Every structure is written in structure tokens, then in C-alpha cells.
Chain A
Amino acid sequence: MLIYFLKRLGVAVLVALTVSVLTFSLIYLSGDPAMALAGEEATEADIALIRRVYGYDQPIIVQYWDWLTRALQGDLGRSHYLKEDIADVIFTRLPNTLILAACAITFALVLAIPLGVAAAIRPNSLIDRFALTVAVVGQALPSFWFALILIFFLGIQLRWLPITGTDSWMNFIMPAIALGYYVTPGVMRLTRAGMLEVLQSDYIRTAKAKGLRPIRVLFKHALRNAIIPVVSLAAVQFGFMLGGSIVIETIFSINGLGFLAWETIQRADLPMMQAIVLVFSIFYIVITFLADLLNAYLDPRIRIS
């Protein structure tokens, strides 16, 4: 297990490093960072001054090396735009993104797994059709459009929920539904397909023949096996939600990491961008690693291999 962990860690570090080099290069390819910092009304002289004062006149490789050596010492630097310590900014905004992603994935799993199971137990029934409808609508409806529909009905017409901000738990309901619903179809279809396959298995037939209660057969024997790929998918989707909730955070004005990433790209705040990429890479690494551990727990064959 330790060797497996170290191997995964080594790959993860290489991935993070590669992504960080790519990010640095892409920011430069998308335009002069000094010009972004200077803003629209800056003159040629303003931009030249900013380039010198903020060190953008150094060769790109020197700038990257400076950042890397400092980051390895635990110093992520200060944001050129926000004028704040980068670690402070990230850890101030991280909770909003974590809460949103956790609520969204919970909503998705709570909706998708029971529906998937129900659809598998009664294929081609009314519940299966309903599940299929939920899946098709979830896949067809762009999340920003769904978010605006929620705002219109729950925020403006009924006035049940606050529209923007993060001031109470109620602020997270609409964003979590909008973000989670997007994930629901995939999880549900995977659950349904897994359950359908497992329910045809010999060991399920044996369990039924032994006279075990149907509920026990369903949840202890069938679901446990069918859910293994769902865990992997949910982990990937959770990682996606942490890094890719830009649209939802923007629409609901949630001051989280996705929103910060988008803003940072817009203004080419290099040190901040690098730090965000690093944090997102760590998220993916940790989440996929935890998913592997959970799968190993659920499926002894993985542990042995």
C-alpha cells in the first residue's frame, strides 16, 4: 500500500508541475500580464513602469523559477491585483467552494442513487421512465440556464430563497441544486446500469435462494458491488465541482475559488493563478486517492491486486 501511495504521489507531483508550467506559459500567450494589471486606460508609459516594478520585464523562465523556489518554501507570494497574501485569499474563499461542492454532490447522490436503484429494480416501469426523463433533462439543460430558471421561480416569483452571496445556508440551496443536477444523470445511469448487471448475477440469485430478505439482498449484496464505479465517478465529479463551479459561482455571486480562478485569468495575476492551479491539482490528487481507497474497501479484489 505504501509503495502504491508513493507511486501515486510521485505522479501527482509531476502532474502538478507540468500543469503549473503550462499555466505560466498560457498566461503569457494570452497577452501581456503587465497590460492586464495596468487596466484599459493605461498608457504605454504606465505599462512599461508596471512591467519593471512588478518584475514582468524578467525572462519568463526566471520569473517561473523565482515563483517555484518560493512556492517550494511554502511562500505563495502576494496577489498583484488583490494586494493580499495569496494563501490568505485562497483559504478565505476555499470554504465557500467546499460547501457548495459538498452540498451539490450530496444533492446529486441523494437524487441519483435511489432513482438509479429504483429504475434498475423495475426496468421500463413508470419510475424508470421518470429517471430517464430526469437524466435527459439534466444532460440537455445548460447549468447556467437552469440556474437562471431557479432564480426566476424561487428567487423572484416565490421569494423563498436569497439569490446571491453566502450569508446563510439558504444561499447555497439554489447553487447546490443547479450544480448538483448537472452531475445527476451520469451518476444515475451508472447506478442503474451497475444494478441491472449485478441483479442478474449468480450470487444475487443464490442470496435470494438462501431466503435473505429482499432489502438485504438489494443493499448489502447488490448495491455494494454496483456502486464501485459510482464512487470513482462521484470523486471525479466532486473534483470537477471544486475547480469547475465557475459558472454557478458567477451567477450566484459566490465568492469562491472557481470565481477567483476566472477573475485571476482575466487579469493575468500570475502568482495567484499559479497558486490556484496548485490547489486544484492537490484537490484532484487527494480526491482520486481517497476514491481509490474507498474502492479498495468496497472491493477486496482491488486491495489484493
Chain B
Amino acid sequence: MFRHVLKGLPIAAVALGLSAGAAMAGKANDTLVWTTDREAAVADPYYNRTRELVIIGNTVWDGLLFRDLDTGEFKPLLAKSYKWVDNTTLDFELRDDVKFHDGSSFGPEDVVYTVNFVTNKDNGVLTYKNVSWMKSAEKTGPNSVRINLEKPFPAALAYLAQAVFMMPEGHYDAAPKDAQGKKDFGAVKPVGTGPYMITEVVAGDRIVMKKNENYMIGGPKGTPQIGTIVYRTIKEMNTQIAELLTGGIDWIWDVPKDQAERLQDSGQVTVENAKTMRVSYLAFDVDGSSNTKKFMDKRIRAAVAHAINRQSIVDNLVGPASVVIHSPCHPDQFGCTDDVPKWDYNPDKAKKLLAEAGVPDGFEFDIYAYRQREYTEAVISDLAKVGIRAKLNYMQYRKLRDLNWKGVTPVQHMTWGSNSIPDVSAITGVFFSGGKDDPANDPEVNKMINEAGTVTDPAKRKALYKTAMSKIAGELYWLPMFTYAKYYVFNKDLDFKTTPDEIPRFYTAKWK
């Protein structure tokens, strides 16, 4: 206990002003400080599922492949080339000029180690879905490696480009053990090959990344420009804005529309609204397991769909980069199609459908939500105009998903970001392949979605998804609502390009 008290004393000294001070933000200090409201505690993208670690993962680590956002093409990154041997085998030739941040050389042993480690269920990676499609990896030559898949998985390249980061061989051997001897793999000091290297992690406060001066030449990620990048946690949006305006930080996002517009008017900062891969949807209790059987009736679901003015929510609350969607997917994802039955805004039709369903005066039900309360309140307001009275139950995500799995939610207003994977399997594979998250467990839809998730012929995949999505939209198992858009606000001196997948590439940023 005394040891811990002693450990705390330097912190007290720092707090009393005996430290050298925090990294200053801005061009003059060549330090880009970006902030979100989430605590980035662990600097290991396999042991933290937050968006922040996806961003840091792409900044500090590299995958075998890289997705060119302009063309959608998958380019080699740590690999020099790749080829499909068959539906379940991928071969890679690796670059021989890459070094890890600790100075060791990158090679096929590292790929084999990483793949075999993260796919071992006992190692408890938190992002298991991102790696579970891989069966194993094996070295096939001095600079070549093979990845064997569990089964045909057409989205493999997307995952390899965005979610499978390479660690040095034996990296997790250094994991500390708890009193029972169980290893805590997420606590290992981070070592990657990426454009920036982590030099300091203060859990809950900041992660400091320095430019990797030895980063590979000629790679698709380019050459890092800014000397230091710091991630800081600031929970309160007003405080974030105050720090941005006074030069304490350089970059924030998720700024509410009204505040973003006021900041834009002030002219002190750059404001941009950009797409994300996240979509909003209403999921209905189609099988009638909740306290109301009303949503088993398709006419009721259709009435709800016609009653909600999705375009108005997009225009007034979300932002110009958002669009109304009709399919259960993001338009940028491979396999997503808008050619499905659509439910336009038509309150009169909604009232007519309610009358046909035997509830001309509307009815009351519980709607559940966890994110952007104002969006759900807009939905409730629209429903009230046709006589449907929705009572809001707003709660934490984990509680809501728990209730959904228990089948007690008549309607839930949810979102899904697909881990920014640009393939429709990252959303339909979760919600329409059967299971607790599937609102309908429609055997026909399940069969098509599962087949589309393993077929490698792109045309056949698209056809399967189109048929499945037409049924999902037509039967209204979900009412797809709109894509999310985010307001980014940043330092005017910063040359930063927003991206459509909610993964800011800070390694491409530079000072004007």
C-alpha cells in the first residue's frame, strides 16, 4: 500500500506545478492535439474497441493492405503484393524495408505470430469479429506468408486493410500477470510499424505519438508531416470548444450542429461536416415478444415509416453530409443498394394505415434509444402528429442491447457503424443472419445473407444482397433512417482532410 502512495506523490508534485507542463498544441509547437470525450485507456487496437483506438491503430500500426479512399482499391502496405490462391487462401509477398518502432525488422514471422495470436480465442481480443475469419498464417518463404481463412470471406481485404494490425513476434510475451497468473495482454507497451510511434500513455488522460522518422518510403500512407500528435480526453463538449478557441487543442469532432454553425460564423476555426459509415435505424418487435403485439402487423410498421420525416431530421439535426437511406446498410459499403421498396414521408397515408389496422386514434408504446436523444425526440414528435404516442426510454447501450436480446423492446432507435468496414457484410452479417440481434429471424433472408457473406463472385454477392435487402425493407423488419454525419472543427492552421469512414488520417495532416 505504501508503495502505491509513493507512486502517487510525483503526480501530486506535477499537480502542484513542479512539472515541465503539458505538450502545447498548435503549429508553433508542431504538435497536433486532438480530443474526444472518450477515455482512450489502452494503446492496443486488439484490446480496446473504441473508435479512438481504431484511429490510433491506423496511425501507429500498419496492416498488410491499405484501402485507397478515393478509388476504393486495396493496395499493398506492409505487403508488396498479394493474390488469392483460392477462396480460402491468400498469399502475400512482404516488403523487406520495414522496421518496427523498437528498431527490429518486420518479416513473415511477425505476420504468422500476430494472426495466430489474435485468432486464438483464449487470448481474449476484444475485436474478435475483425479477425475470426482467419484460421491461421504460415511462412512460405523468406519474405512471403500465407493466410488461411476459416471459410470463403469476400470482405477479407477490407478487414486486412483496416482492422488487422501487425505486431512484432513475441510482442504479447511481455504481458503482466495478475495474482492468478492470468496474462493481461492489452497492457503491453505498444510497438508498431506505422507513421507515428507511441511514446507516452497516461490512461484516461492522453496518448502521445511522435513522428516515425524511419517510416517506410513510398508507402501508400505517405510520409508523416507533423512532429507530435497527442490524443487527449475531454468529456465536456463546451470545454473542448473553449480549449479549441484558446489554442489548448487543435481538433474536435461530434460537435452538435447548432454549435458548429456558430463556430463557423465566428471565423476562428475551420468547420466541416463529413460522412461516417454509421447508419441510424428503427428496429421493430416483429415477432411480438415485447409488451405490445402491434408491431407484428406490417400496416402498423408502415404507418410508423410513413409518419417519420427523415429528410427533415437530416436537414435540421444531422448535417449536410447525411442522407436518408432505404436499405439496412451504408451507401458506401460494397453490396449496398438503394433499389429497394421505399417508405416516403406521408402522414395521411400513415393515418389511413392506422385506421386499416384498427387503431384510427393511434396507440401508445415504448421506444428505446441510447444515442443522440434529439434525433429520437424528433421521431417521437413526428409520430405524435399521426396519433402514435411513443414513450422514450433512454439508456446506456449495453442495457438497451441486453433488453433487446430479451425481446422486451417494441421499437428501438439504434445505430451501427460497421467498424468502418466498407462491406455490407459488416452490418447485415450481424443483424440479418439469425440470432439475438436479428429482429425477424426470417429463414429466407438469413439464408441469402449467410450465402452472400461467403460467395466470392461480386456480381452474385450483389444480387443476393439486393434480394435480401428488398425483403428486409419491404417487410419493414427495420426502418433504415439516415446516415450519420459528423461536424469536425479544427485549427485554421491545420491542413486536414476529412474522410468518409469516420477514421481521421492524422498521419496525412500538415500545417499550412
What per-residue 1/0 map shows which CB atoms of B1-34 lie under 8 Å from chain A?
1001101110110111101011000000000000
A-B contact pairs, 29 of them (CB 8 A): A30-B398, A31-B398, A32-B401, A39-B126, A45-B128, A46-B128, A53-B122, A53-B124, A70-B179, A81-B42, A83-B42, A87-B1, A90-B4, A91-B5, A92-B7, A92-B11, A93-B204, A94-B8, A95-B9, A95-B15, A151-B238, A156-B242, A159-B246, A163-B242, A163-B248, A164-B243, A251-B235, A253-B235, A259-B204
A41 touches B126 (CB 8 A): no
CA distance A28 to B86 in the complex (A): 46
Instruction: Give 8 nearest A-B pairs by CB, closest first.
Output: A39-B49, A53-B124, A95-B12, A31-B399, A31-B398, A91-B4, A83-B186, A168-B17
Contacts of B398 in A (CB 8 A): 30-33, 35-36, 268
Q: Does A77 contact B (CB under 8 A)?
A: yes
Q: Does B169 contact A (CB under 8 A)?
A: no
How far apart are B496's CB and chain A's nearest CB, in angstroms?
22
CA distance A207 to B186 in the complex (A): 69
Q: Among the listed B8, B203, B430, which residue makes an inter-chain contact with A91, where contact means beta carbons less than 8 Å apart?
A: B8
B41 touches A83 (CB 8 A): yes
Contacts of B205 in A (CB 8 A): 165, 255
Query: Which stretch from B55-63, B149-157, B314-322, B413-421 is at the chain A interface?
Result: B413-421
Q: Does B71 contact A (CB under 8 A)?
A: no
A49 touches B202 (CB 8 A): no
How far apart are B173's CB and chain A's nearest CB, in angstroms?
16
> A83-B187, A99-B15, A253-B239 known; A89 and B248 CB under 8 Å?
no
A42 touches B129 (CB 8 A): yes
Q: Which residue of chain A is the closest to B245 with respect to CB atoms? A: A156
Given A32-B401, A99-B12, A166-B15, 6 extra CB contacts under 8 A: A35-B402, A46-B126, A87-B4, A163-B242, A167-B14, A259-B204
Q: Is the interface of A mostly helix, strand, loop or mixed?
A: helix
Q: Does B436 contact A (CB under 8 A)?
A: yes
Contacts of B235 in A (CB 8 A): 250-251, 253, 259
Contacts of A39 in B (CB 8 A): 49-50, 126
Q: Which residue of chain A is the closest to B38 with respect to CB atoms? A: A263
Q: Does B397 contact A (CB under 8 A)?
A: yes
What per-residue 1/0 map shows which CB atoms of A85-117 lie under 8 Å from chain B?
101111111111011000000000000000000
Q: Does A155 contact B (CB under 8 A)?
A: yes
How far apart are A135's CB and chain B's nearest CB, in angstroms?
27
A82 touches B122 (CB 8 A): no
CA distance A85 to B235 in the complex (A): 24
- Total interface residues on A, CB under 8 Å, equals 70
Q: Does A260 contact B (CB under 8 A)?
A: yes
What per-residue 1/0 map shows which CB atoms of A23-63 lie under 8 Å from chain B?
00000001111011111111111100110011000000000
How far apart are B431's CB and chain A's nearest CB, in angstroms?
10
How far apart are A240's CB and chain B's nearest CB, in angstroms?
20
Contacts of A91 in B (CB 8 A): 4-5, 7-8
Q: Among the listed A33, A40, A95, A148, which residue makes an inter-chain contact with B11, where contact means beta carbons less than 8 Å apart?
A: A95
What per-residue 1/0 map shows which CB atoms of B119-155 lie under 8 Å from chain A?
0011010111100100000000000000000000000
> A49-B121, A151-B242, A263-B204 known; A167 and B19 CB under 8 Å?
yes
Contacts of A30 in B (CB 8 A): 396, 398-399
Contacts of A44 in B (CB 8 A): 430, 435-437
Q: Which residue of chain A is the closest to B180 with respect to CB atoms? A: A70
Q: Does A84 contact B (CB under 8 A)?
A: yes
**How many A-B Cβ pairs are below 8 Å?**
177
Q: Does A252 contact B (CB under 8 A)?
A: yes
Residues of A within 8 A of B (CB): 30-33, 35-46, 49-50, 53-54, 70, 74-75, 77-79, 81-85, 87-96, 98-99, 148, 151-152, 155-156, 159, 162-172, 250-253, 255, 259-260, 263, 266, 268
CA distance A93 to B11 in the complex (A): 8
A83 touches B11 (CB 8 A): no
Residues of B within 8 A of A (CB): 1, 4-5, 7-9, 11-12, 14-17, 19, 21-22, 39, 41-42, 44, 47-50, 121-122, 124, 126-129, 132, 176, 178-179, 184, 186-187, 202-205, 232-236, 238-239, 242-243, 245-246, 248, 396-399, 401-402, 416-419, 430, 435-437
Contacts of B44 in A (CB 8 A): 83
Contacts of B48 in A (CB 8 A): 81
Contacts of B9 in A (CB 8 A): 95
A168 touches B19 (CB 8 A): yes
Contacts of A84 in B (CB 8 A): 41, 187, 203
Q: Which residue of chain A is the closest to B430 with respect to CB atoms? A: A43
Contacts of A85 in B (CB 8 A): 176
Contacts of A41 in B (CB 8 A): 49, 416-419
How far apart are A163's CB and chain B's nearest CB, in angstroms?
5
How far apart are B263's CB and chain A's nearest CB, in angstroms?
13
CA distance A95 to B8 in the complex (A): 7
Q: Among the listed A54, A81, A89, which residue makes an inter-chain contact with B124, where contact means beta carbons less than 8 Å apart?
A: A54
Q: Among the listed A81, A93, A156, A165, which residue makes an inter-chain contact with B41, where contact means beta carbons less than 8 Å apart?
A: A81
B129 touches A31 (CB 8 A): no
Contacts of A172 in B (CB 8 A): 15
A163 touches B239 (CB 8 A): yes
B22 touches A170 (CB 8 A): no
B128 touches A49 (CB 8 A): yes
A37 touches B126 (CB 8 A): yes
A250 touches B129 (CB 8 A): no
B126 touches A38 (CB 8 A): yes
How far apart are B167's CB and chain A's nearest CB, in angstroms?
15
How far apart are A167's CB and chain B's nearest CB, in angstroms?
5
Q: Among the listed B12, B22, B126, B204, which residue makes an inter-chain contact with A165, where contact means beta carbons less than 8 Å apart?
A: B22
B124 touches A46 (CB 8 A): no
Contacts of B14 in A (CB 8 A): 166-167
CA distance A117 to B8 in the complex (A): 38
Q: Which residue of chain A is the closest to B238 with respect to CB atoms? A: A148
> A253-B234, A255-B202 known; A38 and B49 CB under 8 Å?
yes
Q: Among the listed A42, A49, A82, A94, which residue makes an inter-chain contact with B203, where contact means beta carbons less than 8 Å apart?
A: A82
How far apart are A179's CB and chain B's nearest CB, in angstroms?
15
B17 touches A40 (CB 8 A): no
B399 touches A82 (CB 8 A): no
Contacts of A46 in B (CB 8 A): 126-129
CA distance A175 to B16 in the complex (A): 14
How far apart are B200's CB and chain A's nearest CB, in angstroms?
14
CA distance A82 to B50 in the complex (A): 12
A99 touches B4 (CB 8 A): no
A170 touches B17 (CB 8 A): yes
How far apart are A178's CB and chain B's nearest CB, in angstroms?
12
CA distance A37 to B430 in the complex (A): 18
Contacts of A83 in B (CB 8 A): 41-42, 44, 47, 184, 186-187
B39 touches A263 (CB 8 A): yes
A162 touches B248 (CB 8 A): yes
Contacts of A98 in B (CB 8 A): 12
How far apart are B298's CB and chain A's nearest CB, in angstroms?
26
CA distance A31 to B50 in the complex (A): 19
CA distance A169 to B13 in the complex (A): 10
Contacts of A77 in B (CB 8 A): 178-179
